[in-house]
Amino acid sequence: MKHRAGKAAGMFVLSAAMTMLLAATASVSAADQIAIGVGCTTGSSLRLRAEASTSSSVVTQLDKSVAVSILGKQDGWYYVGFDGKSGYVSAEYVIEDQDGIFTAPGRINGDGVNVRASADPDAQAVATVNKDAAVTVDGFADGWYAVTCQYGTIGYIRSDFVDLVSDEASASGAADIATQYLGTRYVYGGSSPSGFDCSGFTMYVFKQMGVSLPHSATSQWQSGKGQKLYSASELKSGDLVFFNDPSRSNGKACSHAGIYMGGGQFIHASSANSGGVIVSTLTSGYYNTYFVGGMRV
């Protein structure tokens, strides 16, 4: 398996009875099932099918060289999960990982998920992450993923709480979380769903991703938490964006912050006309004039 998705591999063997049980549950979300291994796709536009048959309906298509969780095996087919979906792929187009060491992007699919010190449900919880938080999956063993959270904590999460995803899906997690709070009122100093100011909003969203940010636009810009981007053309969904209107900044580096959504739009908590959490256009007007840069955490 290529090291972006892993080095080819399989981990352990299920009993025949368990294999048949997993194979029979294609209609159940991958989020409800513990993986028995990890594989890497070898074909482009690979069809993920609802049943183990070339005549079965197509659930979605998979790109080449992406990591998939292996949930079961049946007559030359792998039953796999990817990006919250599950289905069957011909074993001809999947290489199964053999050593449990690989790197792949992942996304948390539930709230209050514990990151544990070892691959054991009774092990100490070293952190808690929420739905849509991005993690890097560094390996697999006995139904658990070894993970690195975005703020650097290393630990283990049971595989049914992590969806293996594409790089693009992982990166956009902050924007996905942010849109859940559209319409929330603006409150100066606010940093909760009862009311946000601009940096309180970005701080709250990234906290759900496992990233700790300070509570001011300037402090976030100067925090050193990520890679700074100085051109709007470099931005990707999920990047922080910063602005500085000299009339509002009191001499500080930034006066406003938001989260880029792609397509020239960003989401932010605006004090203008009691707007609250809204979506605005980055590339024209006020925000284009005062754009300072972005930051990829």
Q: Which of 147, 111, 104, 109 is nearest to 126 (CA)?
A: 147
In sequence order, the β-bridge partners of residue 39 are 68, 96
Q: Which of 40, 149, 254, 268 is catalytic?
A: 268
Q: Which of 40, 149, 198, 254 is catalytic?
A: 198
Distances (CA, A) of 9 to 1, 162, 163, 233: 7, 19, 18, 38
The structure tokens listed for 270 are 């605006």
Give residue 277's Cα distance to chain centre: 22
The structure tokens listed for 286 are 């006020």
Q: Count Cβ atoms below 10 Å from residue 158 Cβ, excluding itself.
A: 18
Quickly list DSSP for 82-116. ETTEEEEEEGGGEEEEESSEEEEEEEE-SSSEEEE
CA–CA separation, 116 and 79 (whole Å)? 27
Q: Which of 40, 149, 254, 256 is catalytic?
A: 256
Task: Note if 3 is an active site residue.
Answer: no
Q: Which of 32, 29, 37 is nearest to 10 (CA)?
A: 37
Residues in the chain: 297
Measured over the CA atoms of residue 180, residue 135, residue 115 and residue 38, the dihedral's sign is positive
CA–CA separation, 22 and 1 (whole Å)? 24
**Three-state SS for 34?**
coil
CA–CA separation, 260 and 238 (whole Å)? 6
What H or E segment, with its residue span, contains residue 221? helix 217-221
Task: Give catalytic residue positions.
Answer: 198, 256, 268
